[in-house]
Chain A
Amino acid sequence: MKAKGEKRAVALNSFLSPDQKKQVLRSLHEYKFIFISPEMLGVHSVLERLSEMNISLLAVDEAHCISQWGFDFRPDYLKLGHFRSLLGNPLTLALTATATEEVRADIVKCLGLEKIHEFIYSVDRPEISISVEEAGYQEKQKRVLELAASLQGPGIIYFSSKKMAEQIAAMLRGKGERAMAYHGGLEQENRILIQQQFINGQLNIVCATSAFGMGINKENIRYVIHYHMPLQLESYLQEIGRAGRDGSESIAILLYSAGDEQLSFQLAEGELPDQFQIERLFSSAEEKSISMSEIKQHEELFTGYCGFTETQWRFSADFIESRSKEAFSIIQKKMGNYVTERLQMKKTKIFEMLQYIQHQGCKRSFILNYFGEPSSSRPQKCCSNCQLNNEQYFYKKEPVPAAGPTYYDWKKELASILRQVSETDEKEQIQ
């Protein structure tokens, strides 16, 4: 917003230093737009200051996070209802790109909304053909290389594992494709470079984990392949929606091998601590008489003792810290219940994804029904169950030019970047 010229915008989040926070709070009334993270709604001084002000519009982005039924549930969002009543129930705008009927009802309830208008745009993207292919575990790799070789790019191939993304990207490069891997394990500078190379057309294929894509606006992505199934239809839809933004025909292909869901279950479980870890966490804290409010200071101890992944630790520490005033045994019980419920929820999501994969009817209709929409227009190139055959979308690709020995003239390159005349250019002009 600031870049676009609106200087009266400010962000209140946990990245601010205490001094910066104080300063922002003091001058809060001078701003027209206040961006605030749900975590900050737990801070008393912030709430107090905001409730003194006259807020004319409360906008909640990614509102599906408020719902226990949402795939991205974030407990902090539950504070929003209370927050809204503190502000005197101002006019409220809740936004989300992926919400089923159930989730929408939850949003209304949690925010305490009364008179509502729903504006629902179809999740259907007729320009994207949808295909699900089954391939044996061994054949999948061959298939993805084949697809990458014959489909017209640019394209994104999504993976659940960083390692797999790296491997396939290296194989594709070996075959002369301009491909790179993108995942959360990269250094910041490399992330920006790869993303920009892709947007700029220097790369044709990105082998990515779900870390890639947010905030990327590239219009001409022609295909999105999923090497592993996403954990829920909502993310699947978001990821394939990155194709065809220019309105031209594109395709989404999901590759499935029997048993792939096992990896999904493992991933889902890895995001939360299991009952055994919870047990160990609380018994060791008791033994060492570490109080619940100090939990975050003992990261190394607990991580080692309970075998937490980073995500598991962050969840556990946040969960306990936000309830540190309650009794030990109560927190433990609450955490146990919460984890059981969330895991059940995640499993349901994975089963829905599996249902989608195994659905014998129109895939597009399945997705639309899932989001509570009536069946679709059925575009001509609809889906793999609507007689979409390979030739229809197998564009002949221009052959990859063989990489000959390239002599790199750094002087010429530097001159061209800075729009100067290099010696080499001068010589050429004289000749």
Chain B
Amino acid sequence: MEITYTEAVILYCLKQLKGERTIFSLYHLYQGKKSSQTIQDAHLYHLTPFFQAFPFISREELARQIERMEKKSLLDKKSNEHFILTSTGDLKLGEYFQANTLPPKYLDGWRHHHLTALFWERLSILVQVCSNLVYQKKSFIPIQNKLETLDWVKAFIKKRQEGRMGLSSTLFLELLNCFQRDKTIDPSILVLRLTGQDRIGLTSGQAAELLGMDHTRYQLEFLNILHFLIGTVSDEAVEFPLLNALIPEAEKPVPFTLSTEKTFQLLNRGYTVEQISRIRNLKRSTIEDHIVEIALHIKNFDLAAYVPKDKEKRILEAAKETSAKKLKLIREYAEDASYFEIRLVLARNGDQKWK
């Protein structure tokens, strides 16, 4: 029996986690929880594409799904919340990969999660407004109801100079050109969801049904297209000026959690970990968590102040040796390293292949 798409996704992710993290860390990953732990894990286990891939999933839903897979002998319970793949699970996943790719090519939750929902809200409302403008319909009910989004679209239209026909045709051509950059993309997945003057867009469930696609798969494919659009139009802003203008301050890096942001500012002003801990009245370990998060985001953040170069090298070697990301195991090899130092080095080097 073939496995479902949902099962394939969960098998894939749990395989990456190697039983070293609980299924709730998976839940946090799918939700896109902005905690240092979740962000570090996403990098460490190469699961960044799935960051915030299923923002609406519930804890219970995921637990039930995993329980079902355990009953089907795809998963083995190591402890209460730790699961690993059974040999059947591993085999089925292997078979699945012969015919399918996972994750979808452009899915990159970590890079785009903070823009994804916003981009879709803006694109869908802009298409609806343009459609009603060119067909000269005066009143309609907006498909997005957030005040910010509606204010944005009003201001946006006002700023544009090309008139209603011009705006629509620019939008049409840019979308067309962008979609045609990659033939593996099926634009129907997105176009079905759009609302025009005389038709209301489909819900994701309806679009999946119409395309005969598993709903989980549809959700990821939809994100895949959005990430493809966001990536393409921000990389080639000159080619896609209109679509690029939907992205707020395109170059803005992923924002830190608020608390990390404060720590970051203090670090930049030259304060030490101890000082920041005292100023902010936070535990030292919390500040260290922030520093790990910063190291994940800012590729040229200098670690030397926190880990001596030679220790960094030894930690990396230890990590390769154990091929596990269990801090405890690594520490057996690099005895003089603290957990903080290990995590920091792994955070920086998480994207490298270990073996």
Using a CB–CB cutoff of 8 Å, the interface residues on chain A facing chain B are 173, 180, 187-190, 192-194, 196-197, 199-200, 202, 406, 408, 410-411, 413-420
Measured in the bound complex, the distance between the Cα atoms of B154 and A379 in whole Å is 50
B192 touches A419 (CB 8 A): no
Provide a sorted-by-A list of 21 A–B residue pairs whose CB atoms are within 8 angstroms: A189-B143, A189-B203, A192-B143, A192-B144, A192-B145, A196-B141, A196-B195, A406-B210, A410-B191, A411-B176, A413-B191, A414-B175, A414-B176, A414-B187, A414-B191, A415-B172, A418-B130, A418-B196, A419-B131, A419-B165, A420-B172
Within the complex, the shortest CB–CB distance from A427 to chain B, in Å, comes to: 16
Contacts of A194 in B (CB 8 A): 203
CB distance B131 to A417 under 8 Å?
Answer: yes
Q: How many residues of B contact A (CB 8 A)?
A: 38
B200 at the interface (CB under 8 A from A): yes
Contact between A418 and B171, CB atoms less than 8 A apart: yes
One of A187, A193, A408, A417 near B127 (C-beta < 8 A):
A417
Q: A193-B203, A194-B203, A414-B172 are in contact. List 14 more A-B contacts (CB 8 A).
A: A192-B143, A192-B144, A193-B143, A193-B202, A196-B141, A202-B200, A410-B186, A410-B191, A414-B176, A415-B172, A417-B131, A417-B199, A418-B134, A420-B172
Given contacts A187-B56, A194-B203, A200-B199, contact A418 B143 (CB under 8 A): no
CB distance from B336 to the nearest CB of A (A): 41
Q: What is the CB-to-nearest-CB distance from B181 to chain A, in angstroms, rounded to a whole number? A: 15
Q: Which residues of B contact A413 (CB under 8 A)?
A: 191-192
Known: A189-B144, A196-B141. A418 touches B203 (CB 8 A): no
CB distance from B194 to the nearest CB of A (A): 6
CA A431 to CA B141, docked complex, whole Å = 39
Nearest Cβ distance between residue B182 and chain A, in whole angstroms? Answer: 14
Please tell me if B286 contacts chain A, counting CB pairs below 8 Å.
no
The CA of A239 and the CA of B202, in the complex, are separated in Å by 26
Judging by beta carbons under 8 Å apart, are B175 and A420 in contact? no
Q: Which residues of A contact B144 (CB under 8 A)?
A: 189, 192
Judge whether A419 and B191 touch: CB under 8 Å.
Answer: no
B192–A414 CB distance below 8 A:
no
Q: Which residues of A contact B169 (CB under 8 A)?
A: 418, 420
In the complex, chain A residues whose CB is within 8 Å of the CB of B127: 417-418
- B232 at interface, CB cutoff 8 A: no
Which residues of chain B are within 8 angstroms of A187 by Cβ–Cβ distance? Answer: 56
Give the complex CA separation of A193 and B205 in angstroms: 11
Query: Bound state CA distance, A199 and B141, in angstroms?
Result: 11
A200 to B128, CA, bound (A): 14
Q: When A187-B56, A202-B199, A418-B169 are in contact, do A196 and B191 touch as well, CB less than 8 Å? A: no
Residues of B within 8 A of A (CB): 56, 127, 130-131, 134-135, 141, 143-145, 165, 168-169, 171-172, 175-176, 186-188, 191-192, 194-206, 209-211
Q: Is the CB of A410 within 8 A of B187?
A: yes
Q: Which residues of A contact B204 (CB under 8 A)?
A: 190
- Cβ contact within 8 Å between B196 and A410: no
**Cα A21 to Cα B228 with chains together (Å):** 41
CB-CB nearest in chain A for B136: A419
Cβ-defined partner of B196 (8 Å) among A180, A408, A417: A417
Q: Which residues of A contact B209 (CB under 8 A)?
A: 173
In the complex the two chains form, what is the Cα distance from A420 to B174 in whole Å?
13
Knowing A196-B141, A196-B143, A197-B200 touch, does A408 contact B131 (C-beta < 8 A)?
no
Nearest CB of chain A from residue B208's CB, rounded to whole Å: 12
CA distance A194 to B135 in the complex (A): 23
Looking at B145, B191, B200, which has the most chain A CB atoms within 10 Å of its CB?
Answer: B200
For B196, the closest partner residue in chain A by CB is A417
**Separation in Å of the A413 CB from the closest CB of chain B?**
5
* Residue of chain B at shortest CB distance from A414: B191
Task: Choose one: A192, A408, A410, A420; the contact of B168 (CB below 8 Å).
Answer: A420
Cα–Cα, bound, A200→B172 (Å): 24
In the bound complex, residues from chain A placing their C-beta under 8 Å from that of B198 are 200
Residue of A nearest to B165 (CB): A419
Q: Which residue of chain B has the shortest Cβ distance to A198 in the bound complex?
A: B200
A173 contacts which chain B residues (CB < 8 A)? 209
For A190, the chain B residues whose CB sits under 8 A away are 203-205
Is the CB–CB distance between A419 and B134 below 8 Å?
yes
Q: Are B200 and A196 in touch, CB under 8 angstroms?
A: yes
